[in-house]
Structure 1
């Protein structure tokens, strides 16, 4: 909790209903519940019949013919709390197999980390409220987000995720490519707007001779001299670090007056109310890690049947 996150205070206590006994999994399905204890439904009364700009209000109403206006419903980022629980369990399994998943905030608005992830101490990412591994940049990002908040506005940015220790061979051709599953997982996160892996869009500026990752052998292990591929080639992991970026838009709810329409298509004005984040990036880090861990674990399990 800080000045740059929502003032909503949730304990987020996880109550496990099944699948875990004395701190260990039992092999049965894991069921759990996280109760909302600090909800304020009245904060949303003013948008009961109106569609907030860039929210899911209109599309949900158009598709289903009704919506629960008391928050975002199924489009609310609150549902990601469950993803983080699942991801935490997946990460424990991956750690036992020597695989680590670490995400961090690499850009907020115009403030962008210039250092490559290999030059950063990712272990300190959670030591500040911004979730940026560069302390100086974290301070700048914090002040920038706080000023945006004071202005009644919001800002977007980018998270970077690095997966180390991933074995060779995860992923399948065509529709189950590893990067495709990672992309789907990341773009399923609320407010995400873009995904790039390896060299990403900057790779379009390079020639093939500059972009190709040449192979070599060290201690009988195949490696690449560079890693523009982002650890995945042909949809299958090659043993190098997997790294990618996820772009997040500014939070749609702003503390400013905006014009919109109601369900009868009448023009209305909407004033931002409630407890909302001025920037989702600090909270997105744990969600990105969780979704990445779940995807990698899924592919580890699938890979057990690849050579039957």
Structure 2
């Protein structure tokens, strides 16, 4: 009886053929390779998404690139003209202004959004009465439709009866926010920052909430000031989030149309002109080839932003 009981508790592996025990342990937890039927099913399930991407993104992009090498107009098939549309850009004052404004508007807007978004995120991360309400109010500029946001800002900046000039009339004469070249640039940048900083604030706030509070407690015990805690703890912890948000925001700002068209329409003259507005104006004059050239010329810049974003996501 004792021998039978001892035999009953012998592990199953002891009765397995030699050499199979180690193999079963090594294979334990490994995902079996997909069969041909499973692979075909997977491709079939992915096919609708691929088709949507090709139809909505691939085809329009390839068509725009082709049109940029033609003199096609609305109602006319046009003909292949090579790089003629691009050579005209070198002497186009609107294009040169758009290139300069791309650097100015994107660069200054990103800097201001970074500073304002970080400050707001740090404030909203602290305990305060009605904190959820304040977070909701901060998100309003980004949540409302762009048409409503920028038309409202245009009415505020109108001279001399806009809300901003009415508020300033006791201190100074009316400021030509939208008719003076320098003030027009300032107005566009401020409108772009006001519209876009909530995205920065909420993204940085989410990153701040992932930082362990023990790090700050240890730093305070070591005598670190609030600024030292921010520089040595907060900044390194949110650096990756800021980099990703900066790339996404740069793409959105460079492709922005509503902020320019609804406020200044690229004026006065071409001082606030951008590539999307140039492309739209060419479409209004039915020049599809020229409009495509304005749109395609910014593709390398967008591709660079996307590469930076992809590299950052891979590093993190």
Question: TM-score per shorter chain, which class?
Answer: under 0.3
Q: Which has the higher strand share?
A: 1
TM-score computed with the length of structure 2 as normaliser: 0.25
Q: Quick check: which has more Rg, 1 or 2?
A: 2
Q: Which has the higher helix share?
A: 2
